[in-house]
Chain A
């Protein structure tokens, strides 16, 4: 059981918009700690997609966006492309555990 809860899978057709949720609690997201998102293509290391809730590193398309509210955060992917098919993970800090926590991951399928 991951401390941060993500849906196991989401799917969408090319061109559509999908969202991935990340639900935490008052000791992590709800405590004000930032949420970060990673994309992991099959057989590769994760890649930073969104940092500090809603910031994109250089080189990440603006089709990817992040938001945070209360004890949850979301990753939105607009204009789905086949190359977006990957696993997506959220990450935050938990004060009761005194360390990082990750979501269980969400597999995105592009139909």
Chain B
């Protein structure tokens, strides 16, 4: 049973960098699949942030591309999100997720973690 678990600070100051990690159990991220991040502002819909393939190649939401970096650490079986220069508009529940291909559905979600941007 694959399980994903987000971790990181729940509060980030404006203009700083949001950093989250997704720990994966039950599957080696180096074995395949894409690993991504999706966020949901309070009371709003879902927004895809970006994904990384097990080879290390990445693709990002163009609206966030200049501020986002997704990386992987296969030795720890985890992948990470960095979002720079955050504002209050980046306040959201952040989910990590697994998907089989570029255009495919998410077949496994983390439980989500709320990150609030505030001074």
Q: Check if A34 sits within 8 Å of B103, measured CB to CB.
A: yes
Q: Check if A48 sits within 8 Å of B106, measured CB to CB.
A: yes
What is the minimal beta-carbon distance from B49 to any residue of chain A, in angstroms? 9
CB-nearest residue of chain B to A6: B45
Is A46 positioned at the interface, with any CB of B under 8 Å from its CB? yes
Q: Check if A46 sits within 8 Å of B46, measured CB to CB.
A: yes
Is B55 positioned at the interface, with any CB of A under 8 Å from its CB? no
What is the minimal beta-carbon distance from B64 to any residue of chain A, in angstroms? 10
Q: Check if B45 sits within 8 Å of A89, measured CB to CB.
A: yes
- Interface residue SS majority, chain B: loop
Q: Check if B104 sits within 8 Å of A51, measured CB to CB.
A: yes
Q: Check if B45 sits within 8 Å of A104, measured CB to CB.
A: yes
Q: Check if A101 sits within 8 Å of B109, measured CB to CB.
A: no
Q: Check if B46 sits within 8 Å of A97, measured CB to CB.
A: no
Assembled-state Cα–Cα distance A89/B46 (Å):
8
Assembled-state Cα–Cα distance A19/B106 (Å):
22
Assembled-state Cα–Cα distance A100/B64 (Å):
13
A48-B110 contact in complex given A98-B62, A102-B45, C-beta closer than 8 Å:
no
CB-nearest residue of chain A to B95: A45
What is the minimal beta-carbon distance from B96 to any residue of chain A, in angstroms? 10
A48-B45 contact in complex given A97-B62, A98-B62, A99-B62, C-beta closer than 8 Å:
no
Q: Which residues of B contact A (CB under 8 A)?
A: 45-48, 50, 59-62, 95, 102-107, 109-112
* A-B pairs, 10 with minimum CB distance: A36-B105, A100-B48, A51-B105, A45-B109, A93-B103, A102-B46, A105-B45, A104-B45, A99-B61, A45-B112
